[in-house]
Structure 1
Amino acid sequence: MMEEVQDVTSALSVHGHNIKVTDVLKDGDTLTFVIVSQKVSGTGEYHVDRTYDDVEWLQQHLFSQEDVPGLHGVIFPPVPAKPQVNVTAKGMKQLGFLGLGEWQPYCKALETFLRQVASHDLLKKNKAVEIFLTSSDPPGRQRVKKNIFNWLSQAMDEMRKEGHKDVDEFFQAQRDQNLVMTGCTKNATERFLEVVLTEQKIAVACGHFSAALHLCVEAGEDPVKQAFSRICVKLSEVLESMKKNMMSVAENNVNTLGLGLDLESRYQEAEKEMLFRRTCKLVELETARRSAEKAKPVKKAAMEEVKKAAESEFDHISRVAKQEIAQFESERVQMLQQALVGWCEQQLLTAKESADQFDRYLQAFRGMA
């Protein structure tokens, strides 16, 4: 069992940008992910097996850094939803694109999460990250400590803070923009998922039609029946080719733009949570200021100290938040650009291959005529 993690390390012993999730193993209802990290010093790799409970263990320790200044201003890399071996309709709604493709999309999303954590200037210093990526022992089931995640859950009960007017025009504009972007991105992701699911249904229908055409093939020496059978066989080949083409299109959609939209949607939610945490701290600061103004002389000095501490904490959170937003805006443009470029490239390649194949079938039909 891994020991209780409390301190932080100055640097990781692995390259954060080279982390890979190479395989997923099924054992009943449990999924185990094989994570490979390249060592910084010399050659060699770390190979560790991790379950989703282990991922939650890591996330728990990232949220538990209450002694880290400015933590409330961090946009935490969003962890994928909990995977399911037998995906139900409800589970499919939660997983979206991550529930398709025999777990390859999910492994890619988990890989992205780990790379984002291991590359984050603040989060990668947590000792839990090093242990998660390099230790051969799995994390233990530890007692849940008070952390930023629990704090956020408690704060969610005070929904009035969500509409609280911000004192900084930059953050107010960011909150307004995030509100719009969160809804638009989620809607775009859901609509694109519907497109992919429809493509998969079309592919299945083509496969059924292809198989059905073979039932029309008849043996015998009748020239008419022989000609009809040859046409059925050739049409069956065309439909089988259409099935493979549509499956390729759907797979390309999932692995490029689908994963890009999914990550964008989850990151917008992560930014929304950070902005809400900062708003809650703003409300606390304003409360501290009012308390200091109304304090009686005997408590005036103590309340002034509380106010100064709240101001210092809030200023630090705001500085960290502005840096996080700037980096997020830059990276999200790059991520979406890569997703769109990859989507276009794969679709063009598939379209060219399909066009060449259909042209050969057209020439074959002309020869039969």
Structure 2
Amino acid sequence: METKQRRWVFYLLKIELIQAYWRIAASSSLTMEEGSASGASSGASSPEPQEPFSPKYTVRMSDRVTKDGESVKFTLQVSENGLTVQMLEREFEDFEYLEHCVITGQPSHGLIIPPLPQRSATDPHTAEIQSKRLMGKESKTLIADEFHKDCHQLQKYLELLLSHPVLGKNERLHMFLTIKEAPPRTKVKKGIMTKLSNSLDFRKSSYPDCEEFFQKERDWVAKYHPAINNTADAFNKIICAQYRVSHQLEQLVTAFKQSSMPNSELHNKQFNIMNILFYDTLDNLKGQLEKKTAKEEIMLGSVLNLWNNYIDSENNMLLDRTSLMVDYQSCNRALDKAKPNRKEAAERAKKEAELAFEECSDVARNEIKKFQRERRQELQASVEQYVEYQLTTAKAVLKTLTTTLTQIKAVSL
């Protein structure tokens, strides 16, 4: 009887071991499907999954923007738990200093820092250059300030920081959003030593990676970065072309308004009626095109520019990790060659380099998976929204032209 009981116990244990094995196998398979080429850690124990991070604050950029010379102040509405806690004014230089503090004050390597959007033109000379780029070299028209675009991009930048599980807890970020007066900022200067350091780090980018996951990601970045950069440039050319068409429509409207004839004769009166219908339609189409272009620039253009700059941030992170890998390999070689009296120091340096590299790898692996997931989701949503908007605006243009054609046909000749 005891023998049968033992066999039964062994049988149950065997079933539990088999189930545990398949659970581990399924978990490893899932890890590989999520993007890891090897499914293995770099050697350090991977951190246990944390609970979903919830931002402490939410931010909304108000449409209220004040400009005094070249100084532009943006208004931020900061909320906590659904209640407004602060209404703040911040200049672009405050955002630049916040970015500097976030980058230099990050607690660990391996993080992909959200990129700060490019500053818009504020002085007349830069505005003229930008206007000629959009409207053509011969154009003398100055494009109005695009503060709505700046507000959208800066709000997105703050949202990306706040929603990040590590950067969202940054003390400097919380000070930026809670102190009424902007935190004191200092001008950030890059000296010759910084440039030399960046140059040396860039040379390390050619080193092959010791992990297939990161090597594949580096290869992907090398191919994807020029592709999305070209896509963003091509889309910006479409935006510029639409601005030029809008400007040409405005010139046509002016020309048709000046071509009106005296109503003394019947055929002149009929011409004037059709002329008015025609230039009213062109003016309507011009307004639709301007609205369409501004919305498309936010809808897809800003998203393409964001992820184009985001790739730079990921590339910087991968370069930083490669530098740690090279340092770790150098410490290994130094330990092998170390003399007995320096063996202990070399061993300590090797362990510190190993720990820094492995911690960076664990953080970077999770960051890359999060980055790729959010990149795909946002780009897909933006493209789908852009396509639907094209259909909507095309129907609106068709309706406008059809209505005008019907009105012109109704004019008695």
Q: Provide, for residues 18-73 of structure 1, a one-character-per-residue CA deviation record: whole Å limited to 9, x for no partner.
A: 31111322111011111111123x7333111111221122122212236x2xx220
The amino acid across from 1:225 in the alignment is N
Kindly indicate whether residue 202 of structure 2 is the aligned counterpart of residue 159 of structure 1: yes
Match for residue 7 of structure 1? none
Could you tell which deviates more after superposition, 277-286 or 335-344?
Answer: 335-344
Q: Shift of residue 255 of structure 1?
A: 1.5
- TM-score for both structures, normalised by structure 2: 0.78
Match for residue 215 of structure 1? 258
Q: Provide, for residues 113-139 of structure 1, a one-character-per-residue CA deviation record: whole Å limited to 9, x for no partner.
A: 111111111112221111101110111
Q: Provide, for residues 62-85 of structure 1, a one-character-per-residue CA deviation record: whole Å limited to 9, x for no partner.
A: 12236x2xx220000111123331
The amino acid across from 2:90 in the alignment is R
Whole-angstrom distance in 1 between the partners of 2:388 and 2:86 = 33
Q: 1:256 touches 1:343 (CA, 8 Å); kept in 2?
A: yes
Task: Pick the aligned partner of 1:109 from 144, 153, 161.
Answer: 153
Kindly indicate whether residue 121 of structure 2 is the aligned counterpart of residue 80 of structure 1: no
Match for residue 97 of structure 2? 57
Q: Shift of residue 213 of structure 1?
A: 0.7
Whole-angstrom distance in 1 between the partners of 2:344 and 2:259 = 93
Matches for 1:226-305 after TM superposition, within 5 Å: 226-305=269-348
Match for residue 359 of structure 1? 402
Q: 2:54 touches 2:163 (CA, 8 Å); kept in 1?
A: no
Q: 2:202 touches 2:319 (CA, 8 Å); kept in 1?
A: no
Q: 2:77 touches 2:84 (CA, 8 Å); kept in 1?
A: no
Q: What secondary structure sits across from 2:365 in the alignment?
A: helix
Whole-angstrom distance in 1 between the partners of 2:72 and 2:162 = 22
Q: What secondary structure sits across from 1:50 in the alignment?
A: strand
Kindly indicate whether residue 74 of structure 2 is the aligned counterpart of residue 33 of structure 1: yes
Match for residue 129 of structure 1? 173
The higher radius of gyration belongs to 2
Q: What secondary structure sits across from 2:83 in the alignment?
A: coil
How many residue pairs match? The answer is 347
Q: Shift of residue 187 of structure 1?
A: 0.6
Uncovered stretches (5+) of structure 1, i.e. residues with no partner: 1-11
Whole-angstrom distance in 1 between the partners of 2:393 and 2:378 = 22
Whole-angstrom distance in 1 between the partners of 2:244 and 2:86 = 40
Q: Shift of residue 282 of structure 1?
A: 1.1
With over 3 angstroms needed to count, the CA separation of the structure-2 counterparts of 1:82 and 1:245, relative to structure 1, is closer
The amino acid across from 1:105 in the alignment is K
The amino acid across from 1:39 in the alignment is E
Kindly indicate whether residue 367 of structure 2 is the aligned counterpart of residue 324 of structure 1: yes
Match for residue 36 of structure 2? none
With over 3 angstroms needed to count, the CA separation of the structure-2 counterparts of 1:89 and 1:299, relative to structure 1, is farther
Q: What secondary structure sits across from 2:90 in the alignment?
A: strand
Whole-angstrom distance in 2 between the partners of 1:63 and 1:90 = 31
Report % sequence identity. Answer: 27
Q: What secondary structure sits across from 2:410 in the alignment?
A: helix
Whole-angstrom distance in 2 between the partners of 1:100 and 1:168 = 50
- TM-score for both structures, normalised by structure 1: 0.87
Whole-angstrom distance in 1 between the partners of 2:118 and 2:233 = 15
Whole-angstrom distance in 2 between the partners of 1:113 and 1:74 = 16
Kindly indicate whether residue 139 of structure 2 is the aligned counterpart of residue 139 of structure 1: no
Q: Provide, for residues 199-229 of structure 1, a one-character-per-residue CA deviation record: whole Å limited to 9, x for no partner.
A: 0110110111011111111113211222222
With over 3 angstroms needed to count, the CA separation of the structure-2 counterparts of 1:186 and 1:64, relative to structure 1, is same
Q: What secondary structure sits across from 2:109 in the alignment?
A: helix
Whole-angstrom distance in 1 between the partners of 2:217 and 2:196 = 22
Could you tell which deviates more after superposition, 341-350 or 234-243?
Answer: 341-350
